[in-house]
Amino acid sequence: MNNNDESTPIIPNILIVDDVSTNLKILGAILKDKGYKVRPVPHGVLALQAAEKEKPDLILLDIMMPDMDGYEVCRQLKENVKLCDIPIIFISALSEPEDIVRALNSGGVDYITKPFRAEEVKARVATHLKLYKQSKELKELNATKDKFFSIIAHDLRGPLSGLIGLAEMMSDDTLPFEPEEKKDLMCDLRDSARNIYNLLENLLEWSQMQRRQISFAPQMLLVHEIIHEVLTIVAELARKKAIEIVVDIPQEEKVFADTNMLQTVIRNLVTNAIKFTPQEGTITLSTKHPNGKEVLFMVKDSGIGMDTEMVENLFRMDAKISRIGLDGEAGTGLGLLLSKEFVEKHGGKLWVESEEGKGSTFYFTILSKV
């Protein structure tokens, strides 16, 4: 039941498996009356195929079917890593206690005996859909917590240790430094402090976003003014690597967005591009208008790119995808997660296209008008 657009109602997707067509029609009518998306299938093999093609939020499963009974269908679903968490309610004419116990032991969450009553089916389905939704939300919260502690325990400790080490070296009177060496150390000290500041800023904003404490005040904005603010912040990082940042955006380009959120998204994407673009590379910021309502932003770099697995895991909270930049810049992946949430807060989408050795292009959409 995933949906990135919070304004769009989420319609639960229910798979009904029964070899009796009359039962499929009656159950389908009962659940459609509640506004659910219903997919009826007449036997177990089709049920497994349908679940693989489009994961349902709940399955109503008959037991006595030809070729493959409900117990076997349930067993195979529970052995599938992608489908094992789907709640399965058995609906069967078998009413002996041992039949019910066997169904529950095989992985079912509930059992309804035939002939069934419409109100009972509706109530039990609604209950287990609610429990399934809560279970998914709990997993996401746990992943959020794990990510938070991972950043504090590992990704923040590393840069802080480096900063302390540099400070100790510079304060040690027994170490004679040439003026040029001292200047280099000062630059390293500044870069370490900047990395820690950026990390803490993302961490604070992300934490506020999770607790819904961050303000959201969209208004019509001139894109070039936002870009100018961002490039002022990242100018030194780009200059240090002799990276050219090209802005191919019309001066009059406007979007309907929150100033701070849009700045954060562009800053994170450009900073990320700088990290993984080699010396004397190029980063291009541009826009397009795929329709009359949205502006499509593109941040394209000539960097090292990513393989398919990294792209697939890039926006997953439970995946560890951070990596060190080409000049040793620290990274946690948190900036991309935060950017995705900010874009989705605007009703837009954020995605990436990348290939190893050929750079990456990050895309996101923002409304062009109210």
- Residue 226: CB atoms within 10 A of its CB come to 21
**How much is the average pLDDT of 81-99?**
94
At 23, the amino acid letter reads N
Select the highest-mean-pLDDT range: 14-18, 188-192, 274-278: 14-18
Residue 331 predicted with pLDDT over 60:
no
Task: Determine the pLDDT at residue 1.
Answer: 39
Which pTM does this prediction carry? 0.53
Strand, coil or helix: what is 110? strand
Distance between CA atoms of residues 69 and 2, nearest Å: 30
Closest C-alpha among 232, 202, 208 to residue 332: 202
Residue 7 predicted with pLDDT over 50:
no
pLDDT averaged over the chain? 85
Residue 8 predicted with pLDDT over 60:
no
Which comes out higher in pLDDT, residue 35 or 323? Answer: 35
Cis link prior to 115 (omega < 30° from 0)? yes
DSSP 53: H
Residue 5 predicted with pLDDT over 50:
no
CB-CB contact of 223 with 287 (8 Å) = yes
Which comes out higher in pLDDT, residue 67 or 147? Answer: 67
**How much is the average pLDDT of 17-45?**
95
Distance between CA atoms of residues 300 and 287, nearest Å: 11
Which comes out higher in pLDDT, residue 175 or 279? Answer: 279
Q: What DSSP letter does each residue of 275-299 carry, written as one string?
A: HTS-TT-EEEEEEE-SSSSEEEEEE
Sheet with strand 282-288: strands edge to edge: 244-248, 282-288, 294-301, 360-367, 350-354
Task: Determine the pLDDT at residue 6.
Answer: 43
**How much is the average pLDDT of 36-64?**
96
**How much is the average pLDDT of 53-79?**
95
Which comes out higher in pLDDT, residue 102 or 341? Answer: 102
Task: Determine the pLDDT at residue 288.
Answer: 94
- φ/ψ of 296, rounded to 5, equals -100, 115
**How much is the average pLDDT of 313-319?**
71
**How much is the average pLDDT of 258-277?**
90
Which residues, in sequence order, are CB contacts of 52 under 8 Å at separation 6+? Answer: 80, 82, 83
Closest C-alpha among 98, 102, 107 to residue 128: 107
Residue 183 predicted with pLDDT over 90:
no
Q: What is the 3-state secondary structure (H, E, C) of 196-263?
A: HHHHHHHHHHHHHHHCCCCCCCCEEEEHHHHHHHHHHHHHHHHHHCCCEEEEECCCCCEEEECHHHHH
Distance between CA atoms of residues 58 and 200, nearest Å: 40
Task: Determine the pLDDT at residue 310.
Answer: 87
Task: Determine the pLDDT at residue 165.
Answer: 76
pLDDT-wise least confident of 36-45, 278-287, 326-335, 349-358? 326-335
Residue 151 predicted with pLDDT over 70:
no
Residue 158 predicted with pLDDT over 60:
no
CB-CB contact of 106 with 92 (8 Å) = no
Q: Is 242 left (phi over 0), alpha (psi -120 to 50) or beta?
A: left
Q: Nearest 5 degrees, angle CA 210-CA 215-CA 299?
A: 80
- Residue 25: CB atoms within 10 A of its CB come to 13
Share of the chain above pLDDT 90, in %: 55
**CA-atom Rg of the chain in angstroms:** 27
Distance between CA atoms of residues 247 and 166, nearest Å: 36
Which comes out higher in pLDDT, residue 344 or 1? Answer: 344
pLDDT-wise least confident of 233-237, 241-245, 268-272, 330-334? 330-334
Task: Determine the pLDDT at residue 209.
Answer: 65
